[in-house]
Amino acid sequence: MGTIIEITGTITKGQVAAMKARMFMPEYVKQAKDEEALGIAISQYTEWDGGAILRTLCYALEDANFHGECAEIQEKYPWAFEKES
């Protein structure tokens, strides 16, 4: 059984480092970007559902006060927002 990472509101650098160690080959871990590991985790969590990934991106943008950018994504990919699960 794999290691469970508990997330309590914030994802720590240590948690991301643990994710990278599990996701990547040992020779790649040092050069892997944190964003790459987080992106892979989101992709796997959503079961590679492009619409869910785009919605997750918009939630992250809105949380960071990039509302205009989220609106642009919603306009460009309306199909991803027609039926939110």
pLDDT tens sequence across 37-47:
999 999 999 99
Check if the beta carbon of residue 46 is closer than 8 Å to that of residue 52. yes
Do 69 and 79 fall within a single domain?
A: yes
Are 57 and 40 part of one and the same domain? no
- Within-domain flag for 1: no
Tell me how many domains the chain contains: 2
What is the tens place of the pLDDT at every residue in 40-70?
Answer: 999 999 999 999 999 999 999 999 999 999 9
70 falls within a domain:
yes
Report the chain's mean pLDDT, rounded to a whole number. 91
Q: Give 48 or 10, the one with higher predicted confidence.
A: 48
What are the φ and ψ backbone dihedral angles of 18, each rounded to 5 degrees?
A: -65, -40
Whether residue 84 is found in the same domain as residue 51 = yes
Distance, CA of 27 to CA of 61 (rounded, Å): 32
How confident is the model at residue 25, as a pLDDT?
96
- Tell whether 27 and 55 lie within a shared domain: no
Domain range for 75? 47-85
